[in-house]
Amino acid sequence: MERIKRILVSDGFNNAMSSIFAILIGLLFGFIILLISNPSQAVEGLGIILKGGFSAEGKGMGQVLYFATPLILTGLSVGFAFKTGLFNIGAAGQFIMGAFAAIYVGVHWTFLPAPLHWIAALLAAAVVGGLWALIPGLMKAYLNVNEVISTIMMNYIGMYMANYLVKLTVYDRLRAQSLDVANTCVLPKMGLDHIFYNSLGGGKDLSTVNCGIYIAVIIAIVIYILLNKTTFGYELKACGYNADASRYAGINEKRNVVLSMVIAGALSGLGGGLLYLSGAGGRHIKVVDVLASEGFNGIPVALLGLSNPIGIIFSGIFISYITEGGNYLQSLNYAPEIIQMIIACIIYFSAFALILRKIIPGILKRRAENKKGGEK
């Protein structure tokens, strides 16, 4: 009994519990909207959402991982900034600028051989994403401009800038989207093509998933180590918790604010690169005036993962899974807009995990106290 109680009040358990609880609340709200819009198919619809990528077997699960990759990166971007006391709302702009950089390198730098080519493209994505966040970082550190406002502004500048640059340099007029990157710049499958496919007669219907998911997981682990094991992470977190005391201790807090933002931006930019370097069957930049949803979804991913890099891997995969499930809802009688709403509801309610994280331990503790009071 004692042991169970100790687990119940431990931090790790509470973190996991609050995330799971939040997901359940999110699903409940999703179900309510399903009921309102089409009661007769609501239960079946919820089943499809819960089945997620599995609805389309191996390929479906591959797609879940493919779309989880950028979400993990933007989630890391938001979560990392948050751990260091900054709100990076600019993942969308950093993401799309990084994506453009990767595509540009992928289309034009064909002189590079295979592994070097995609590596260079990913590096370009990270660098450009980082530069895009450098501006709000500098403004925050030296002019005390709130980073929430400046990163939101940079989102729009980034979106229009990417549209303009795509049209100027890597535009496919026939399909009104960015050109396919060179084959040497498509991320290799690294064995994933043997797992995530659907049999189609004699051949394989391959999923788009590639080694990007490996890279995302590795980056998450690197960020975890950086934050928790290194002097650099110690400084960054110190600045996030208490900038005054950090300054008092001789930490250059202005430099750290800038570096935090640059790293966060590089993560988002890399996410853009990983999503778009996927050959003809994968995603292309469509020149439309819409902010990249992967950028904003980084916020719920980070919240649901409680800004823990390892947690973010799972929350990224979960949100991608639910989104894929939503796509298969079209087989029922639901309007695409309703599907979007349902998925958004599930995602955003799940993001309340952060709030619940604060409430649940309090409730458990109070209950324990009451019980003790009753026993006396």
Partner 1 sequence: MEYIIEMLNITKEFPGIIANDDITLQLKKGEIHALLGENGAGKSTLMSVLFGMYQPEKGVIKKNGQEVKINDPNDANALGIGMVHQHFKLVHNFTVLQNIILGVETTKNGILKMGEAREKIIALSEKYGLMVDPEAKVEDITVGMQQRVEILKMLYRDNEILIFDEPTAVLTPQEIEELMKIMKGLAAEGKSILFITHKLNEIKAVANRCTVLRKGKYIGTIDVASTSKEEMSEMMVGRKVDLTVQKKPIEPGNVVLEVKNMIVKSKHHSKNAVNNVSFQVRKGEIVCIAGIDGNGQSELVYGLTGLSQVESGEIFINGQNITKESIRKRNLDGLSHIPEDRHKDGLILDYNLTENLILKNYFKPGFQKGSFINFKKSREYAEKLIEQFDIRSGQGTKTMVRSMSGGNQQKAIIARELDLDPEILIAVQPTRGLDVGAIEYIHKQLIEKRDEGKAVLLVSLELDEVMNVSDRILVIYEGELVADVDPKEITMNELGLYMAGSKRNEVTA
Residues engaged in binding partner 1 (CB under 8 A): 9, 229-232, 234, 237-238, 241-242, 244-252, 369, 372-373, 376
- DSSP letters, 13-77, are HHHHHHHHHHHHHHHHHHHHHHHHH-GGGHHHHHHHHHHGGGGGHHHHHHHHHHHHHHHHHHHHH
CA 74 to chain centre: 4
Residue 247's CB: how many other CB atoms inside 10 A? Answer: 14
CB atoms near residue 9 (< 10 Å): 12
Q: How far is the CB of 238 from partner 1 (least distance, A)?
A: 5
CA distance 334 to 356: 31
Contact partners, residue 359, CB within 8 Å, separation at least 6: none
- Tell me how far apart the alpha carbons of residues 228 and 237 are, in angstroms, rounded to a whole number: 9
Nearer to partner 1, 205 or 369 (CB): 369
Q: Based on CB atoms, which residue is closest to partner 1, 160 or 241?
A: 241
Distance CA 139, CA 136 (A): 5
- Closer to partner 1 by Cβ: residue 251 or 301: 251
Comparison of 143 and 288: residue with beta carbon closer to partner 1: 143
Amino acid letter for position 244:
D
Pick the closest to residue 267 from 86, 114, 12 (CA basis): 86
Which one-letter amino acid corresponds to residue 80? F
Give the nearest distance from C-beta 153 to partner 1 in angstroms.
29
In the complex, least distance from residue 60 CB atom to partner 1, rounded to whole angstroms: 41
| Minimum distance of partner 1 from residue 362's CB (angstroms) | 13
Distance of closest approach, residue 72 Cβ to partner 1, in angstroms? 24
Of the two residues 335 and 368, which places its CB atom closer to partner 1 in the complex? 368
And the tokens for 175?
């399909």
Q: Whose Cβ is closer to partner 1: residue 223's or residue 251's? A: 251
Q: Give the nearer residue to partner 1 in terms of CB position, either 286 or 366.
A: 366
Cβ closest to partner 1, residue 82 vs residue 349: 82
In angstroms, give the least distance from the CB of 366 to partner 1. 10
**Residues in Cβ contact with 14 at an 8 Å cutoff, skipping those fewer than 6 apart:** 357, 360, 361, 364
The minimum distance between CB 235 and partner 1, in angstroms, equals: 8
Q: What's the closest the beta carbon of residue 78 comes to partner 1, in angstroms?
A: 19
Pick between residue 173 and residue 376 the one whose CB is nearest to partner 1: 376
What single DSSP character describes residue 181?
Answer: P
Residues 14 and 2: their CA atoms lie apart, in Å, by: 17
Q: Closest by alpha carbon to 95, among 103, 106, 105?
A: 103
> Based on CB atoms, which residue is closest to partner 1, 169 or 252?
252
* Alpha carbons 92 and 322: distance in angstroms, whole number: 20
Q: How far is the CB of 140 from partner 1 (least distance, A)?
A: 20
The answer to whether 126 and 266 have CB atoms below 8 angstroms apart is yes
Cβ neighbours of residue 189 under 8 Å, at least 6 residues apart?
206, 209, 210, 211
Q: Least distance from C-beta 373 to partner 1, angstroms?
A: 7
